[in-house]
Structure 1
Amino acid sequence: MTSTLILASASPRRKELLELLQVPFKVMPSDVDEIIDNSLHPKEIVQQLAKQKAEFIADKVDNAYVIGSDTIVAFENQMLGKPKTEEEAIKMLHMLSGNTHEVYTGVSIVTDKRCITFCEKTEVTFYPLSAEEINQYVATGEPMDKAGAYGIQGYGALLVEKIVGDYYAVVGLPIAKVKRKLRELGYYEQ
């Protein structure tokens, strides 16, 4: 019997990226209470959260490959989550303006027998942004459900001068590495 591939995320961006594998999969968002230890490095936090999400769904299904993922934006040792208000989004974007920050995306793939968890770090540099540019971007509404108050795959692309690392990890799922880890777990040999 072929194992089911499950994405433990409600993110439409992660769903779109997983579709690049051209294999059938199910989406089962994980409702796990995210428990994090803020004393840990963002790299460790995203891996823990990804594993919590994948294990939450894996405990409910049999014979599946469950993918959990989490992304954190960090700047000068400060984690930048999703802004709660437009003012918070504006503050974050002013902080990132003209600077380089890190995006950490953790992924965990859980099966009945094994688990592989990893993290991709990508450095993102923003152009210096005027207050007008920031206000126009915030007015699009896009920053409000994005870690670090921007989405690189949308209007946020206009803020980015360069990246060093995996673009798709910034979007939310380093899909090329996910494919290789699925192969390592035996998914493609079924």
Structure 2
Amino acid sequence: MAHLILASSSPRRKALLEQLGLDFEVIRPDIDESPLQHESVSNYVERLTREKAQAILHQYPQAIVLAADTSLGLDDKIIGKPESKAHAFEIWAALSGRWHDVFSGICVATASDFFSEVVQTRVEFQTLSDAEMQSYWSTGEPLGKAGAYAIQGIAAQYIPRIEGSYSNVVGLPLFETVQLLKRVKAIG
């Protein structure tokens, strides 16, 4: 079987993929993750996963490359990772008391095949008070997370409902990932 590479430095994606019992290597691709002007969240995450996969496949042409990217969408805007405490508070104020969408692009690529998919999950976020925002920020958990929260962590208490894949909100939709890996014979 070909060498499987996870083209991501996300510890959450690594842990999710480990749940499947797969043997893989983690290599972080070096690509520009800036959104294009007027790019939808769905198109953005799919483009990034394809670019990540291509970057790693260029270095390791005999490998099977799995790439993923996750972003939030609210009012047709891409909500990324917080750049500061003030930015995190802006994100939470926008999400508070509303539903938003979490999009993950996944791509499995080999020298001869290129498959990608975008998975969407709807998430309801409770209204957060200033005290709750301060408390959550002080945990450090929001750093480096799309939407400034981690559903698998402390933020679970702020999310009354989701519609769709839980693992997608964590960062890697496992069902869809397995289906793509089967297409390239990476798993049985």
Q: Shared fold by TM > 0.5?
A: yes
Contact 1:34 1:52 in 2 (8 A): no
SS of structure 2 residue aligned to 1:90: helix
Q: Secondary structure at the match of 1:118?
A: strand
Q: Give a deviation string over 1:137-176, Cα, whole Å, max 9, x none.
A: 1111111211111111111111101000111111110012
**Alignment correspondent of 2:53:** 54
User: Aligned pairs, how many?
Assistant: 188
In the other structure, the counterpart of 2:140 is 141
Q: Distance in 2 between matches of 1:18 and 1:72?
A: 19
Q: Read off the aligned partner of 1:103 and give its amino acid letter.
A: V
- Provide the identity percentage: 36
| TM superposition shift of 1:35 | 5.0
The aligned runs of 1:142-181 (5 Å cut-off) are 142-181=141-180
**SS of match in other structure, 2:64:** strand
- 2:122 aligned partner: 123
Distance 1:106 1:112 in 2: 20
Judge conservation of contact 1:36–1:49 (CA < 8 Å) in 2.
Answer: no
Equivalent residue, structure 2, for 1:64: 63
The alignment status of 1:182 with 2:181, answered yes or no, reads yes
- Other structure's SS at 1:37 match: coil
Alignment root-mean-square deviation, CA: 1.2
Cα distance in 2, alignment partners of residues 128 and 33 from structure 1:
33
Corresponding residue for residue 78 of structure 1: 77
Unaligned runs of 5+ in 1: none
Q: The residue matched to 1:66 in structure 2 has which SS?
A: strand
1:113 aligns with 2:103: no
Structure 2 distance, partners of 1:30, 1:177, is 22
Could you give the per-residue CA deviations for residues 68-114 of structure 1, whole angstroms, max 9, x where no partner exists?
A: 11111111122111111101101111111110001110011110100
TM normalised by structure 1 equals: 0.95
Q: Scaled by the length of structure 2, what TM-score is found? A: 0.96
SS at match of 1:59: helix
Gaps of 5+ in 2: none
Conserved 8 A contact 1:94-1:134: no
Post-superposition offset of 1:42:
0.7
CA distance in 2, matches of 1:159, 1:69: 25
